[in-house]
Amino acid sequence: MAPLLRSRSLPPAWRIACIGVLASLPATVVLNWLPNSRATVGGGAMIVGSLIAGSPAATRSVDSGAAGLRAGFLGGSIGLAVFLFRVDTSVAWPLSRVLFWTLAGGIIVCVAPVFGFLSGRIGGWVADAVSTRPQAGTDTT
């Protein structure tokens, strides 16, 4: 009999990033309840999702910056998709407007991972700072 091959569908950094983005959706709704808050789904997934993804990444020996970068990319993609679905397609756009939004969308998708990387590092740092696991060989009394 051939041995069973065990493979996962997603690498650990992507899996943690997806969990962080999904967990950020309720957090973004709660942030929208605050006065004068204009949090968007894409922005919440980019910043809050990366913060959330950085925490389990640091505790599971996955690079928190890598998980945050991927969560930032997903958040930027979600924000761009939300914009594209809200565009009024009944009006013909001139070529200059199409070129502008194509360039702006490309910049959003390129800059969002940077914010995600930084937020993921912050989330990993917070998780390391508040963890109470005793180190091997140290006295905990």
CA–CA gap between residue 101 and residue 130 (Å, rounded): 42
Return the pLDDT at 141.
58
Domain limits of the chain? 12-127
Return the pLDDT at 88.
67
Token pair, residue 75, equals 């958040």
Per-residue pLDDT of the chain (141 residues; tens, 9 = 90+): 555 556 568 888 999 999 999 999 998 888 888 888 887 888 888 999 999 999 999 888 889 999 999 999 999 999 888 888 887 666 777 888 888 888 988 888 899 999 999 999 999 999 988 876 666 666 655
Return the pLDDT at 130.
86
CA–CA gap between residue 27 and residue 57 (Å, rounded): 19
CA–CA gap between residue 39 and residue 35 (Å, rounded): 11
- Longest CA–CA separation in the chain, Å: 72
Return the pLDDT at 90.
67
pTM over 0.75: yes
Return the pLDDT at 124.
92
